Amino acid sequence: MDKNLLMQGAESVLMHTYSRFPIVLDHGEGMYLYETDGTKYLDFAAGIAVFALGYGNEEYNEALKSQVDKLLHTSNYYYNEPAYAAAKSVCEASGMERVFFTNSGAEAVEGALKIARRYYYNKTGKNDSTIIAMDHSFHGRTMGAVSVTGKAAYREPFEPLIGGIRFAEYNNLASVEALFDDTTAAVIMETVQGEGGIYPADSEFIKGVRKLCDERGALLILDEIQCGMGRTGTMFAYQQYGVLPDVVTIAKALGCGVPVGAFAARGIAAEVLVPGDHGSTYGGNPFACKAAETVFALFEKQHVLENVNGMKTYLWDTLESIRAEFPCIIGHRGLGLMQGLAFDRPVGEIVKATMKHGCILIAAGNDVIRFIPPLVIGKEHVDEMAKALRAAIREVTE
């Protein structure tokens, strides 16, 4: 089908909730995506941190093809082997004890919030619980997830949202402590803020929040939907801080393209939900869980974490060299293969120009370009990206 006709047709039938780039993607191979007309792009966005294994991974594809021929769906009235295998892998990798599989990251956040509410209700018998979230955070688009997202523009058109949410300042422990009282059920935060501009938690901050939760009898919920699954150099970013959450939310690279998310919990948080408290028709189906099971196996077999730790410094140093060249770049931050360059202006035109030079990048907020490539990148891909980005910045700013 003609590219322009396809885009026009799509605009006539799809809701206008995205400002899409004018390209029509057809297939991918390794680190590259291809349009229907054969135009090739180096992908440094990975479907928003989803395609950790790159495109066209043969073992991953074969595992899913095999599952298609066996069983796609049964409902959660019955057991299935992929769900058990995937849950076991999640628990072993995360330090959690029990898992609930969802269809997305936003659904995982919804489940985590329900754990917090139920935990407080069981403890007090009251329905007046509050939850502390963070300014500039992003947790998803569903009503509960939007309620704890720290950007007013995302919340205001949909109010009234769920009540009892209080917002603290990220990396400011005193602001969190000031919001605690006897009604506090949980603190929810991203270990590395993604959409908010690629801000890692300070070590003292995350350890301090963990201590506050322990002292006050509240749960700590860490959102690792974007920063988890190896992206920062450990399977989960909190493992670099020496803390364990009570609940963790996971998605994106958990399925490497197949829609699957999860919330996992330990201790009392793993036991509060009982039959009838939560459910999902599709969550935990054999096909989605086969994807997750296979991802964990391939991470180990293909030494994905080792590659992240081998490449993170090369990406950092390359971005530092670009930062030094252009006065419009005013900041550089991140962990592992989740990094961002902050500019003194909106980055939309630079992102578009980089695409014209054959590389896909995306923004984080208005003034940050984020770098979240597949976790199988090599130095040659970083060099290719850097060449395209330099050309784009010059084109837009000079």
- pLDDT tens for the chain, 398 residues long, are 789 999 999 999 999 999 999 999 999 999 999 999 999 999 999 999 999 999 999 999 999 999 999 999 999 999 999 999 999 999 999 999 999 999 999 999 999 999 999 999 999 999 999 999 999 999 999 999 999 999 999 999 999 999 999 999 999 999 999 999 999 999 999 999 999 999 999 999 999 999 999 999 999 999 999 999 999 999 999 999 999 999 999 999 999 999 999 999 999 999 999 999 999 999 999 999 999 999 999 999 999 999 999 999 999 999 999 999 999 999 999 999 999 999 999 999 999 999 999 999 999 999 999 999 999 999 999 999 999 999 999 999 98
**CATH fold for domain 3-53+303-397:** Aspartate Aminotransferase, domain 1 (3.90.1150)
Domain residue ranges in the chain: 3-53+303-397, 59-301
- CA dihedral sign, ordered 384, 386, 389, 393: negative
Query: Within a 10 A sphere around the Cβ of 56, how many other Cβ atoms?
Result: 12
362 CB burial (10 A radius; 0-12, 13-18, 19+): buried
Task: Write out the two tokens for 247.
Answer: 């609940």
Would you state the torsion angle of the CA atoms of residues 297, 298, 299, 300, taken in this order, to the nearest 10 degrees? 60
Minimal CA–CA distance to 291: which of 257, 262, 264?
Answer: 257
How far, in Å, CA of 68 to CA of 89, rounded? 21
Quick check: pTM over 0.95?
yes
Q: Which residues contact 212 (CB under 8 A, 6 or more apart)?
A: 173, 176, 177, 180, 187, 218
Q: Which residues contact 72 (CB under 8 A, 6 or more apart)?
A: 285, 286, 287
How far, in Å, CA of 211 to CA of 194, rounded? 24
Task: Write out the two tokens for 258.
Answer: 């197949």
Residue 341's DSSP bridge partners are 332, 369
The CATH classification number of 59-301 equals 3.40.640.10
CA 98 to chain centre: 20
